[in-house]
C-alpha cells in the first residue's frame, strides 16, 4: 500500500535524491527524447534531464518565478521510501489548469494504481490538465480521463478537456544545461571513449529517432481525429 503526499514547498533531500534516482533509472520512459540506453548520448540526457528535475524541485520554494507542485507516493510500511512522483506546473491566470512535467513510478511497484492515484490527486486540484506522451501511452492516459487534442513536437498532446487553457504556464529555461561545463565534460569523455565517428552516428541516430516519433505521432493523431483541425505546436 501507499500514501499520497502533496508538496508546494521543497521536500527533504532524502526525498529529492530518490526522485532524481528514479529519473535517471527511467530516462527513456519519462524524457520527451525517449533515447534508448544503447545510444552513447544516453548518459548526457541522464545528467541533463536529472538536473532539469533538480531545478524544478528547487523551484518549489518560489525562488525561480515558476509555479511548481509535487505529488509523491510513499510506501505505507516505510514512509521514507518514494514509490512514485508527479511533478506538474499550475497555469497562471487559470486556477483550474496545470501541465504535467514529469511522472514516474518505481519499477517494482507498477500496476498497483500509484500513477492513477497521483493523477487523480492532481486533478482534484487542477481538473483542466494537459500532458504530452508517446503514441504507445495514449490509451494509458485515456483511461485516466485525458483525450487526444493534437501533437506537440514529436509527441501526442492530451488534455482532460477538449481545448487547451488560455492561461500561461511558466517553465524553466533548460537550454543552459546542455551548454554547461558538466555536459561538455560528459561529452568529451564519451568522445574519448567512443571516438568521433561513433558520436556523430549517435547524434544522427537521435535525430532519426525524433523524426520517427514525430511522424508516428502525427499519423496517429490524424487517424484518431480524422479531418478535424489538429492542435500542433
pLDDT of residue 44: 96
Q: Does the residue 170 lie in any domain?
A: yes
- Whose cell is 514512509? That residue is 79
Give the total number of structural domains in the chain.
Answer: 1
For the chain, the straight-line distance linking the first and the last C-alpha, in angstroms and rounded, comes to 39
pLDDT of residue 225: 85
pLDDT of residue 221: 94
Q: Does the residue 134 lie in any domain?
A: no
Q: Does the residue 156 lie in any domain?
A: no
Q: Does the residue 143 lie in any domain?
A: no
HSE, side-chain direction, 13 A CA sphere, residue 70: 26
Q: Does the residue 46 lie in any domain?
A: yes
pLDDT of residue 226: 78
Q: What is the pLDDT of residues 41-79, one digit of tens each?
A: 999 999 999 999 999 999 999 999 999 999 999 999 999
Q: Does the residue 203 lie in any domain?
A: yes
CATH number at residue 173: 3.40.630.30
pLDDT of residue 73: 98
Q: Which domain holds residue 173?
A: 2-129+165-227
Q: Does the residue 55 lie in any domain?
A: yes
Q: Buried b / exposed e across 155-187, counting CB within 10 Å, b at 16+?
A: bbbbbbbeebbeeebeebeeeebeeeeebeebb
pLDDT < 70: residue spans in the chain: 227-233
pLDDT of residue 233: 62
Q: Does the residue 184 lie in any domain?
A: yes
List the beta strands (DSSP E) in 20-91. Answer: 69-75, 82-90
pTM as predicted: 0.93
Amino acid at each position: 500500500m501507499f500514501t499520497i503526499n502533496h508538496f508546494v514547498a521543497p521536500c527533504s533531500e532524502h526525498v529529492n535524491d530518490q526522485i532524481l534516482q528514479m529519473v535517471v533509472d527511467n530516462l527513456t520512459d519519462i524524457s520527451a527524447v525517449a533515447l534508448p540506453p544503447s545510444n552513447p548520448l544516453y548518459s548526457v540526457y541522464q545528467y541533463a534531464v536529472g538536473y532539469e528535475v533538480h531545478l524544478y524541485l528547487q523551484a518549489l520554494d518560489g525562488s525561480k518565478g515558476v509555479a511548481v507542485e509535487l505529488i509523491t507516493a510513499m510506501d505505507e510500511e516505510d514512509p521514507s521510501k518514494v514509490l512514485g512522483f508527479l511533478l506538474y506546473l499550475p497555469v497562471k491566470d487559470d486556477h483550474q489548469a496545470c501541465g504535467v512535467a514529469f511522472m514516474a513510478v518505481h519499477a517494482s511497484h507498477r500496476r498497483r494504481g500509484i500513477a492513477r492515484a497521483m493523477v487523480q490527486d492532481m486533478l482534484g486540484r487542477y481538473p483542466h490538465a494537459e500532458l504530452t506522451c508517446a503514441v504507445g501511452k495514449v490509451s494509458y492516459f485515456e483511461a485516466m480521463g485525458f483525450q487526444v487534442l493534437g501533437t506537440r513536437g514529436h509527441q501526442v498532446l492530451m488534455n482532460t478537456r477538449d481545448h487547451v487553457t488560455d492561461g500561461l504556464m511558466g517553465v524553466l529555461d533548460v537550454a543552459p544545461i546542455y551548454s554547461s561545463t558538466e555536459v561538455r565534460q560528459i561529452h568529451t569523455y564519451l568522445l574519448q571513449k567512443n571516438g568521433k565517428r561513433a558520436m556523430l552516428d549517435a547524434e544522427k541516430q537521435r535525430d532519426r529517432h525524433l523524426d520517427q516519433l514525430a511522424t508516428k505521432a502525427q499519423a496517429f493523431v490524424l487517424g484518431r481525429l480524422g479531418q478535424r483541425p489538429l492542435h500542433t505546436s
